[in-house]
Structure 1
Amino acid sequence: MKNWIAGAFGAACMVVAGMAAAQDLMVEKKVFELPSFTTQGGRTLKNVKVGWESYGTLNADKSNAILICHFFSGNSHAAGKYDAKDAAPGYWDAIVGPGKAIDTNKYFVLSSDTLVNLNTGDPKTTTTGPASLDPDTGKPYALDFPVVTVGDFVNVQKALVESLGIRKLALVAGPSMGALQTWEWAASHPEMVAKAMPVIGAAEADAQLIAWLDVWAAPILVDPNWNKGAYYGGTPPNAGLAKALAVVTLQANHGDWTNGTFGRRPAKEGEEPTKALGNRFQVQSILDNAGEARAKVSDANHFLYLVKANQLFAAGGTSLANGASKIKAPVLLITQPKDLVFTADTIGRTVEGMKQGGVDISHITIQGSRGHLDGVISMKQAEGAIRAFLEK
């Protein structure tokens, strides 16, 4: 049980999505490298590397490409399996594959790891971030790594897409932080985006989300092993990171799930929480165990840099209104009304802002007991709407 809870947006998503998969699509992880990349903040990085994978075949005129952007704790593994023995396929396998809503018999679908990807301990993830070695010093960057933005994530993806000779994407899509990247693509590179499908994500990080992201980061910052980011070669702040991941998991879900799954049961039979301060409820134990498991393959500084990138986000770089004025592609926005990360009122402001900016936007909702996480594990509900949007 630990494994599928541990990834608030990760292993949990893959397992449940895998149940819906009719067949396994076999994929290979590759590495894309940029000898030099200049961030939006003006810092030039050498030898930037990100992992990527693809499904389907690029057609002769390279007009059938779709880009999938991943969520906060995810990576490029959107669909299929690396090996037939893998426990589960990629997180959106229910809608990406042969004959599925995003049909790989028709489209060439690609996805890449972001800069500062969380999963530094996963051999199938390649990323450049604070844990990477600075070519100039031979030591990890730590906090000398520059602040990066969602726009930087997109610009690395743009370089990857262009390296394949693709001039325009038939669709850009993704859930959560992947939705932020989708909005950014549509606003910053409108000439390259035919259609956009952001899922469970608004076009701007409002003050409430900025504050919540600070709560996500807080356990790391108070862990003494964090040492202002200089922990490489020593003891990593995994206790703080584990608690941070537990917070993410909780907010990514909904009370329908926690109450329905755990209720008020004690963590251990016979150890009632009323009897001792250290006696815990099952929901506490499960969340903490999951966070601890995930922390072992994650990096605390990368988590903090991802938090910062999400806090800084506004499509097009400045504001919702500015972003809306730049978007030319039709948009299909898919959300979950019980989402506790991108709440219904936040989504409502995005929809209204897009309409005022003249964007052709359609908005549909999906249901479930998981809240935000339904935008990853319950996407088959939107299959008909996605097909219709692509065919329109």
Structure 2
Amino acid sequence: MRWTHGLVLLAVTGACSVDDSVAILPEPDRAGYCASGEQTRLVEDGATGREICGGRLASRVFTRALCSCGELVVSASSALDAFRGSLGPGSAGGAGASVGANGGVQLTSELRVSGSLQAGDPGLALGAALLSIQGELRDAGRLQGASSTVRVGGDAWVAGDIELQELTVEGVLSHPAERRLTVPQPPSRVRREPVGPFAPPCSCDTPEDVGAYVKNHVAAHHNADIGLAVDALADFSGDAALELPCGRFYLTRVHGAGSLLLRVTGRAALLVDGDVDVGGLDVQLDEGAELDLLVAGGVSARGPVRMGSPGFPSHLRVYVAGAFDLDAGDPWNTLPESSELAGNFYLPRANLDLSRRAELSGSVFAQRVAASAGLFIHYDLDVQGLGERCPD
């Protein structure tokens, strides 16, 4: 790729020893921050300097392959599977990619889920569809689709009426006695008992305050170590490139008509106190590198977007407080050609309306998700264990 009239910041990685205390920043000792080999640490409380390990934040947010605070709408053949990036494809073992929707689920095509599925009220509405769940099903409402088939590999709990052409439950179906069960051949093991209420599958009532995390780093950053001005990318012309070694870095905003190449060579955090608005975006992680990207505003791009490594999606965690628009002017529903997303995306206020086939390695947490041309997510189970790598 040719870069013209761009900003190029090449940072030299250094040995990084002592335990970093946020309270003493901003004369930060990046060497001390990085040498321990720990994950990124983010300032969780700006008043006291209390930190949280980035891995612990990720493991509590990205518990499912797909989480929707509202409804989930699928109207084209879609599938979610799982693997472990540290072990390679096909290494998920008995674990799978789970789906959660605090609202209902509407399905008019085939959806295959290698883990569990949980739907909130009003439940699942299926139209001539096939729903295959290898794990458990928890449904706070109805399960209806007179021409539809549902297959559950584990137990199932359904709080509302059931009306299907075919229902297979390998485990036990729990269903209230007062609710209708209309299936030509009911499952062999049905337990008539109260069902629910269930806790919402996605933590949407008290979302992570991404903007507050960013504000806590206005001074608590390592920019000086690599000669990075906080407004270095506030208005760039042409294409730009920024290299980040291990450390914590802060920018006021990222804005430019050209494309931005962000290369990460160590365990880094980049905190943006505004929007990321670019022509194109390429986030490259060197072997062993990791990035926590937190954006207090929204993210938009008009050209191809490539983020992370498909083999190791757990190494990229993206938290966005506002909209997530990867084809500005025509939201994410027309994801630009040649785009590739491999990471975990926390978008609690973004509505994702996907009218072009979308494939992602990692996970998505969004306000609402609608896929009309196919949605395929390959969930890296390693993200669930990131917290275990954090110090006590």
Where is the strand percentage greater, Structure 1 or Structure 2? 2
- Relative contact order, CA 8 A, sep 6+: which one is greater? 1
Where is the helix percentage greater, Structure 1 or Structure 2? 1
TM-score, L = length of structure 1 = 0.23
